[in-house]
């Protein structure tokens, strides 16, 4: 009686064989062999073969004197923006609900200044940045202080602790703009902002 081998065991055997064989150039043939090992012979699938890339023609290679030159054709591509990406406009539309949240905001400053944030940046307490538990890094959020109506747009670049009643930690610069640095905490409304 034949005992079936689990797919994870097959992959482990294949990886061990590749490790023992040494470095092998990656090609479509190796991918075809992996697909063949992972499937029974009745279900084998032939993968498309990779086309070798052609080397650049010497006549098309620019000759320079060691200095980098910018040509008109080498301009950076223009950023395409759709109508819903207007700067400063709240995100959302017919198909997407805008992000909104209300709750307590705290600020953090001197003690954290110069330390690394969760996305790897150096924290600048004067910048208009914030820490949020779930919003993606780089998200721009309009924060409005409920008590005085002031608002500021901040960029999410950090995470705050999970077990706290706050919804956002603002930089000292953002807290100054909203007028709550002396109090240390205030009620705010958040709204994601599209565009840059």
Within a domain: 66 = no
Within a domain: 166 = yes
| pLDDT (tens digit per residue) in 35-54 | 555 555 555 555 555 555 55
Cβ neighbors of 105 (< 8 A, separation 6 or more) are: 143, 145, 166, 167, 168, 169, 170, 178, 180, 185, 186, 187, 188
Whether 64 has a pLDDT exceeding 80, the answer reads no
- The pair of structure tokens assigned to 44 is 């084998």
| pTM reported for the whole predicted model | 0.51
| pLDDT (tens digit per residue) in 75-130 | 433 333 333 344 444 554 444 457 788 899 988 877 777 778 888 888 888 889 99
3-state secondary structure of 87: coil
Please check whether residues 113 and 179 belong to one and the same domain.
yes
Please check whether residues 150 and 97 belong to one and the same domain.
yes
Within a domain: 76 = no
Within a domain: 185 = yes
CATH number for the domain harbouring residue 153: 2.40.40.10
Please check whether residues 23 and 98 belong to one and the same domain.
no
Cβ neighbors of 108 (< 8 A, separation 6 or more) are: 125, 131, 169, 170, 171, 172
What is the Cα Rg of the chain in Å?
A: 27
Please check whether residues 39 and 125 belong to one and the same domain.
no
Number of domains in the chain: 2
């Amino acid at each position: 009686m034949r005992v079936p081998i689990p797919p994870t065991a097959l992959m482990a055997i294949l990886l061990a064989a590749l490790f023992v064989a040494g470095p092998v150039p990656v090609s479509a043939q190796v991918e075809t062999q992996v697909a063949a090992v992972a499937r029974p012979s009745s279900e084998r699938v032939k993968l498309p073969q990779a086309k070798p890339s052609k080397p650049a023609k010497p006549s098309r290679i620019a000759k320079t004197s060691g200095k980098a030159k910018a040509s008109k054709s080498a301009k950076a591509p223009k950023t395409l923006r759709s109508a819903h990406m207007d700067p400063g406009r709240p995100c959302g539309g017919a198909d997407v609900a805008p992000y909104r949240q209300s709750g307590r905001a705290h600020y953090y400053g001197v003690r954290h200044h110069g330390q690394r944030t969760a996305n790897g940046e150096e924290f600048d307490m004067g910048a208009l940045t914030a820490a949020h538990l779930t919003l993606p890094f780089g998200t721009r959020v309009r924060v409005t202080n409920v008590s005085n109506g002031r608002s500021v747009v901040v960029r999410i670049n950090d995470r705050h602790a999970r077990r706290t009643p706050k919804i956002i930690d603002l930089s000292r610069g953002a807290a100054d703009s909203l007028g709550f640095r002396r109090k240390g905490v205030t009620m705010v409304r958040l709204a994601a902002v599209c565009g840059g």
